[in-house]
Amino acid sequence: MAPQREWFEKDYYATLGVPQGADQKTIAKAYRKLAREHHPDANPGNADAEEKFKEISAAYDVIGDAEKRKEYDEVRRMAASGFAGGAGRFNFTDFGGDFGDLDDILGTFLGGGRGGRGGRPGARQPRAARGADLEAELSLSFDDAMRGTTTSVAVDADRSCSVCHGTGAEPGSAPRPCTDCRGSGTVAVDQGPFSFSQPCPTCRGAGQIIERPCQRCGGRGVERARQDVKVRIPAGAVDGERIKVPARGAHGMRGGPRGDLWVRVHVPGHPLFERRGRYDLGIRVPVTHTEATLGADVKVPTLEDPVTVRIPPGTPSGRTLRVKGRGAHKPKGGRGDLMATVDVVVPQKVSKEERDLLEQLAALQTENPRRHFEV
């Protein structure tokens, strides 16, 4: 991912509420906590919560990835040091768009830096630009999210032009190097003691001139097309999770690599099961007063076939029994557990025979559950 202009302006560590030296596990934990708190589904109609959720997701996209985080930290370090004393005089927003990499940043702010000065002998050629990351939405069934599945998602994205094959020139012709910048895509501008690189106004930073633009793509070298992309959804996917599909984003320019595709999954609730963490499930099991008192074997639904759960004698309402291996599947094998919480159901209506028997039982009972009230 190319450094974004926002990297200079936004402290993603502060957004997630973690110190800069936090490990990846701490960052992921902080993100999950904030994402649950500000998720639009938990705050319907709350525009502030939705905006906060976007900020949290944007921050985690960068520092939640070890490689992107390393580059982000380097960019922030360079910005904090004032780009060798000169950057404090410049407004980053004047430069707009994305920077290709750290060489591009240095080349822009330090008059060529490691890459040399544009428009002069020995200037580096225009860099192949990585394609943009794309996003897509995908709705899953609860069962598919629990088991994991492979599906496809339709994505509208740029791809290499089928006529010019990415050159931007009409077949039979070819782009020629820009004479003003000598093919570098940048020209040097002297301002006092500093020299700055800026995009060449003649070729607009492309480093080349297309005299006969391709009629199909208008010289862009790419065309818009819809494509179906296969997505592997890991077992235990949670609502709002973003899944990365590497190199299935937009095509790069000048032979650059493709960006990534990020798929946000939506998982509905279930009428019986509730999520307890990523892999455990919960279910409430209604039992009668007699079953709770005497104990009973009760059939309980699972994601597959029902299982028989033993209700121990004297089980109080609210007690949770663990059924091992009946939760969501885990990517590396094994499964989570099913947590069955007992609900003792008190009948609203009883027959005369039932009432007579209950009264007899009440007369025989010796235990007083309110004995601690007595003084």
Residue where a domain terminates, one of 40, 74, 99: 99
Residue 21 in domain: yes
Q: What is the pLDDT of residue 139?
A: 94
What domain count does the chain have?
Answer: 2
Closest-CA residue to 254 (of 29, 92, 372, 100) = 100
In 65-193, DSSP assigns E strands to: 134-139, 149-160, 176-177, 186-191
Closest-CA residue to 298 (of 281, 313, 283, 286) = 286
Contacts of 119 (CB under 8 A, 6+ apart): 180, 181, 182, 184, 186, 187, 188, 200
Q: What is the pLDDT of residue 166?
A: 80
Q: What is the pLDDT of residue 304?
A: 92
Residue 333, domain CATH = 2.60.260.20
pLDDT-flagged residues of the chain (< 50): 1-2, 84-101, 103, 106-124
Q: What is the pLDDT of residue 358?
A: 84
Longest dimension (CA), the chain: 106
Closest-CA residue to 76 (of 155, 140, 12) = 12
Predicted TM-score (pTM) above 0.75: no
Phi, psi at 189, each rounded to 5°:
-125, 120
Secondary structure class of 322 (helix, strand, coil): strand
Q: What is the pLDDT of residue 95?
A: 43
Residue 66, domain CATH = 1.10.287.110
Print the domain residue range for 15: 1-99
Residue where a domain terminates, one of 72, 99, 126: 99
Which residue type sits at 224? R
For 107, the token pair is: 């080349």
Q: What is the pLDDT of residue 132?
A: 83
Residue 12 in domain: yes
Residue 259 in domain: no
- CA pair distance 49, 56, nearest whole angstrom: 10
Residue 239 in domain: no
Residue 166 in domain: no
